[in-house]
Amino acid sequence: MVETGHFALVLAFVLALVQFAVPLAGARLRDERMMAVAEPVAITGFALTALSFAALVMAYVQSDFSVLNVYENSHSGKPLIFKITGTWGNHEGSMLLWVLILTFFGALVAFFGRNLPATLRANVLAVQGLVGAAFLLFLLATSNPFTRIPNPPLEGRDLNPILQDIGLAVHPPLLYLGYVGFSICFSFAAAALIEGRIDAAWARWVRPWTLAAWLFLTGGIAMGSYWAYYELGWGGFWFWDPVENASFLPWLTGTALLHSAIVMEKRSALKIWTILLSILTFSMSLLGTFLVRSGVLTSVHAFATDPTRGVFILAILVMFIGGSLALFAWRAQALTPGGLFQPVSREGALVLNNLFLTTAAATVLIGTLYPLLVEALTGDKISVGAPFFNMTFVPLVLPLLAIVPFGPLLAWKRADLAGVSQRLMAAFGGALLVTAAAFVVSDAASVFSALGVGLAAWLVLGAATDIALKAGIGKVRAGIALKRLAGLPLSAFGTALAHAGLGLTVLGIVAVTSFQVERFETMRPGDTLDIGAYSLRFEALRPFQGPNYTEDRGHFTWLDGDRELGEIVSAKRVYTARQFPTTEAGIATRGLSQMYVSLGDADSEGGIVVRAWWWPLVTLIWIGGLVMMAGGAVSLFDRRLRVGAPSRRARPPKAAEAAAG
């Protein structure tokens, strides 16, 4: 089975080369048969990669320690779920998952793209094939997951315990669906440049793919943030770690792309810019892959690194980013510029959105790469951390957040800013009230915190206003308003949901950073610790035996005055295979807030260091992410966007168009 997997991977590589060369030549020569090769080859390539991936999963499930990768990252005593997820808990396996998702997206285009113009589809699949070929070669040449060991050991070295968590089952697949999903936008952009032609149909095609990639990336980042929060034992939800930045960069440019694609679809403007953003977004994904895999930066995501891999990915990076930008420089003039618009208009607002997002992305990029640059130039080692990003990124995005509610209310081409402001008065008043309330409730702790809460309310209320106005709530009878509400396009709801979700995330971040309470103290059984409005009583420390670990569990009772709210169990765990200690924080949720308890070292007199936090409204950070995802999903199902799905009726005119073009 293992050799089958390896062989399938080699075949997939060869097919990817075919998928690149034949359709590309076909599109150039207008040879229908050559172009038609792309579709079956893309689907077969995906099937082969899936077979290869399944073979690796099988090796993990069966604990086949004759495979080096399994030996290094698995253990027969691990629960089945972690055996499976452990497949991508290492460099080789996760890279295979990366390629699997890449070929999956290629197969989706092949499958759903039957009504695309033939040359465009051939070119898109060709570019996708080239990306796939590069990464398959990378896998086979430097990171083969199927390498055998001559004398197989009896037991494996186990998976890093931090990764033995349900988070590993969710976070990397979602993140890669996002990261790699942008490859489709990239392939479409490159194909448009190769053809030297771009129209609104192109944007209508790219938008759903961008949406899908964006919604998965949002989920992946949110999930990763929550995982780090509960697993690392001290409750941070974002560290400005280089690898987090690496996933955040494509999110920022991808969000910009999502918005500029709207302008392009609706108004045929910003064509060249949209193409450039598509290229940049996937370039950021590639850069992220390089940063994570090469080990050039210090980060919490340490893959076993190997210089040849870094050089290989760097070569891929240079080839794709350099190649696509060169193609852009060469062909972009061929694209005709589109419609004009006034500065105050929906288009203008979306341009402003893009200006803010790309500038913010640029500061994050600089902060992430600056240490590399300094070390290369001067040899000094420096670190750029949260203080840098708080000083640059935060002030740059705050004005963007403040203007978000205006965007959806502005009319295309030329808008009336005064009228829109008037319609937002209610939301603004509401936000002011919330600000005042936050100021009073927090005992006038900080004006900035109150304003932050107000900003979040402004985003949520602004999104609600948008929907209310579109449905005419308050202007027409309830029955008519309800009917109008039902008749609104789904993308309107998607926009409102995404913007409201952003507001919720902002609210969570503001609440946590401003109003968190942290205490730590050495405690003995019977001691209580006051934290915020609550207190914690330390009951006992008891040993516990898990399937592949032992732990000391601290049992705490959570008290509100004299009333018991429940038990919190926090543990110090040692994984037996590697003698690896981890901190398993005890977390209890009340409303949207969480009490978070983690254990430190025992002292010589029978006490143990207890560190506890009260995180107010912390869950909103991730709930906001889920709401943004929901917004993306709702938008994706908008029937106007459904050109991507095969529809029989749409085919004859499209086919005619393709023949004419």
Cα separation, 130 vs 20, in Å, equals 5
Cα separation, 68 vs 148, in Å, equals 5
- Considering only 76, 442, 516, 522, the residue that binds another protein (CB under 8 A) is 522
Residue 19 or 354 having the CB closest to another protein: 354
339 is a site residue for another protein (CB under 8 A): no
Of 216, 210, 495, the residue nearest 349 (C-alpha): 495
CB of 604 to another protein, least distance (A): 8
Q: Which of residues 250-309 bind another protein (CB under 8 A)?
A: 295, 297-298, 300, 302
Part in contact with another protein (CB under 8 A); list of ranges 367-375, 408-416, 543-551, 623-631: 367-375
Whether the CB-CB separation of 188 and 279 falls below 8 Å is answered with no
- Written as one string, the DSSP assignment of 538-580 is EEEEEEEE-SSEEEEEEEEEEEETTEEEEEEEEEEEEETTTTE
Q: How far is CA 214 from CA 500, 618, 652, in A?
A: 16, 23, 31
Residue 215 or 415 having the CB closest to another protein: 415
232 is a site residue for another protein (CB under 8 A): yes
| Residue 574 phi, psi dihedral angles, 5° rounding | -125, 120
Whether the CB-CB separation of 450 and 495 falls below 8 Å is answered with no
3-class SS at 454? helix
- Considering only 54, 362, 398, 485, the residue that binds another protein (CB under 8 A) is 362
Contacts of 407 (CB under 8 A, 6+ apart): 346, 349, 350, 353
CB of 569 to another protein, least distance (A): 18
**Helix extents (H) in 472-554:** 478-487, 490-515
- Written as one string, the DSSP assignment of 161-220 is GGG-SHHHHHHHHHHHHHHHHHHHHHHHHHHHHHHT---HHHHHHHHHHHHHHHHHHHHH
Residue 343 or 547 having the CB closest to another protein: 343
Part in contact with another protein (CB under 8 A); list of ranges 171-179, 327-335, 530-538, 597-605: 597-605
Residue 391 or 440 having the CB closest to another protein: 391
Residue 381 or 648 having the CB closest to another protein: 381
- Considering only 395, 419, 474, 661, the residue that binds another protein (CB under 8 A) is 395
316 is a site residue for another protein (CB under 8 A): no
Contacts of 282 (CB under 8 A, 6+ apart): 182, 183, 185, 186, 250, 320
Residue 416 or 521 having the CB closest to another protein: 521
Residue 362 or 658 having the CB closest to another protein: 362
CB of 18 to another protein, least distance (A): 40
Strands across the sheet containing 593-602 = 517-523, 608-615, 593-602, 586-590
- Considering only 137, 396, 490, 655, the residue that binds another protein (CB under 8 A) is 396
- Considering only 308, 333, 336, 383, the residue that binds another protein (CB under 8 A) is 383
Binding mask 16-55 for another protein (x = CB under 8 A): ----------------------------------------
Whether the CB-CB separation of 120 and 195 falls below 8 Å is answered with yes
Part in contact with another protein (CB under 8 A); list of ranges 147-155, 351-359, 418-426, 487-495: 351-359
Residue 176 or 575 having the CB closest to another protein: 575
CB of 578 to another protein, least distance (A): 6
Part in contact with another protein (CB under 8 A); list of ranges 122-130, 318-326, 498-506, 519-527: 519-527
Which amino acid is it at 301? H
- Considering only 7, 238, 370, 637, the residue that binds another protein (CB under 8 A) is 370
343 is a site residue for another protein (CB under 8 A): yes
Part in contact with another protein (CB under 8 A); list of ranges 42-50, 113-121, 244-252, 601-609: 601-609
| Residue 64 phi, psi dihedral angles, 5° rounding | -85, 90
Residue 395 or 661 having the CB closest to another protein: 395
Residue with tokens 């002292």: 603
Binding mask 558-587 for another protein (x = CB under 8 A): --------------------xxxxxx----
CB of 69 to another protein, least distance (A): 16
Strands across the sheet containing 528-531 = 528-531, 534-545, 549-560, 563-575, 580-584
- Neighbouring CB atoms inside 10 A of 551's CB total 22
611 is a site residue for another protein (CB under 8 A): yes
Task: State the SS3 of 350-374.
Answer: HHHHHHHHHHHHHHHHHHHHHHHHH
Residue 7 or 370 having the CB closest to another protein: 370
CB of 597 to another protein, least distance (A): 12
CB of 384 to another protein, least distance (A): 5
Residue 172 or 208 having the CB closest to another protein: 172
233 is a site residue for another protein (CB under 8 A): yes
Contacts of 373 (CB under 8 A, 6+ apart): none
Contacts of 483 (CB under 8 A, 6+ apart): none
> Which pair of tokens denotes residue 285?
């994904």
Cα separation, 467 vs 405, in Å, equals 11
Residue 159 or 192 having the CB closest to another protein: 159
- The residue count for binding another protein (CB under 8 A) is 49
Residue 300 per-residue DSSP state: S
Residue 207 or 572 having the CB closest to another protein: 572
Please name the helix (run of DSSP H) or strand (run of DSSP E) that holds residue 522, with its range, or none.
strand 517-523
Part in contact with another protein (CB under 8 A); list of ranges 177-185, 384-392, 414-422, 648-656: 384-392
521 is a site residue for another protein (CB under 8 A): yes
- Considering only 151, 486, 604, 649, the residue that binds another protein (CB under 8 A) is 604
Residue 356 or 439 having the CB closest to another protein: 356
402 is a site residue for another protein (CB under 8 A): no
Of 382, 73, 95, the residue nearest 242 (C-alpha): 382
Residue with tokens 């760097």: 314
CB of 656 to another protein, least distance (A): 41
CB of 401 to another protein, least distance (A): 15
- Considering only 147, 268, 359, 514, the residue that binds another protein (CB under 8 A) is 359
CB of 489 to another protein, least distance (A): 30
Cα separation, 75 vs 549, in Å, equals 12
Contacts of 513 (CB under 8 A, 6+ apart): 449
Site residues (CB under 8 A) for another protein?
160, 162, 232-234, 295, 297-298, 300, 302, 343, 355-356, 359, 362-363, 366-367, 370-371, 380-385, 387-388, 390-392, 395-396, 520-522, 578-583, 598, 600-601, 603-604, 609, 611
